[in-house]
Amino acid sequence: MVAPARGAVLATVAAPGPGAAVIELHLVGVAADGALLLDLEPGGEGRYRLPSDGRLRRLVAPDGAGEGSGPVGPPAPASSPAPASSGAASVVPQGSEPRLTPAQIQQHLRRGLSADVVARLAGVEVAAVLRWAGPIAAEQHRVVQAVLDGPVEDGRRRTTRTLAVLVERWLPDGSQAGQVRWRAARRADGAWRVALQVPGRGRVLTATWVHDEGHTSPASARARAISFPDG
C-alpha cells in the first residue's frame, strides 16, 4: 500500500502478477475500534477494513491548507453561533490540540469524506465539522445538478437526452426516483467524481461518472450502460 494521499482516495492496491489492475480505495468511515473503512466508491458501504494507528491518521491528514486560503462561504446558518475567526482554534474544543484548519476540514468534505470521518481526523465533535459543511454541500449539490441536467459523452458519442432522463429509464424494477442517492467528490486533479446509489436486486447498485470542465463521462461499467443503453 502506498502512503495515503490527501483527500478521499486513501490507497491504491495492486493485485499480484504482471499487468494487474490497480484498485482505488476511498475512505468512507471509521469503525468503533478506530479501523478505517474503505470502499471502491466514495460514500460506499465500507467493505474493506484497514487497522489504524496514530501514524496512519497523520498520513491521511494534510500538512497544508490545500485549496484556498480559508473556508468557503459562511460557516454556519444564522441560527447557529458563528466561529469568532477563520483559524483552526475556532472549531477545536478549548484545550485540544488543533489538527485541521477550517479550510482543511472543507477540503476533506469536498473530496467526499463524511463529517464523522473528518471529525475524527480533526479531533473535534461532528457538530464542529458541520458548522463548515453547508457551503460544501451546496457546491456538491450544484455539481450533481449540472451532471443530471446535461448530456454524457465518451469521446466518440454524446447522448441526446440528459442523464436525469437516462437514469429514470434505467431504474431497476421496484425502484423509485426517490430512492436514488447522489454523491459528488472532488478529485485531486480538480475533476468531480459523481456517484449514484440505488437499492435494487437485493443490494445497493452504484454507478459513477466524472464531471470535468462542463463535460460528463462514464467512469464505471454500469454508468456506461445507463448512459449508452444501446451499447
> Per-residue b/e over 135-162, b at no fewer than 16 CB within 10 Å?
bbeebbeebbebbbebbbeeeeeebeeb
Residue 124: which of 110, 145, 105 has the closest Cα?
105
Q: Specify the DSSP class assigned to residue 190.
A: S
| pTM (whole model) above 0.85 | no
The strand order across the sheet containing 36-39 reads 9-14, 22-30, 36-39, 48-50
Task: Give pLDDT, residue 199.
Answer: 84
Pairwise CA distance, residues 60 & 111, whole Å: 13
pLDDT tens for each residue of 176-210? 767 889 999 999 999 999 999 988 777 889 999 99
Q: pLDDT digit string (tens) for 61-91?
A: 544 433 343 455 444 443 333 343 333 333 4
pLDDT on residue 140: 95
What are the cell numbers at 189? 486533479
**Residue-wise pLDDT tens for the chain (231 aa)?**
333 333 344 444 444 444 444 456 767 666 666 677 777 666 555 567 777 666 665 555 544 433 343 455 444 443 333 343 333 333 444 455 658 899 999 999 999 999 999 998 998 889 989 999 999 999 999 999 999 999 999 989 999 999 999 999 998 776 776 788 999 999 999 999 999 998 877 788 999 999 999 999 999 999 999 999 987
Q: How far apart are CA 5 and CA 2, in angstroms?
A: 8
pLDDT at residue number 3 = 34
Grid cell locating 201? 436486486
Report the phi/psi class of residue 19: left, alpha or beta, with left for phi > 0 and alpha for psi in -120 to 50.
left
pLDDT value for 179? 83
pLDDT for the residue 21 = 45
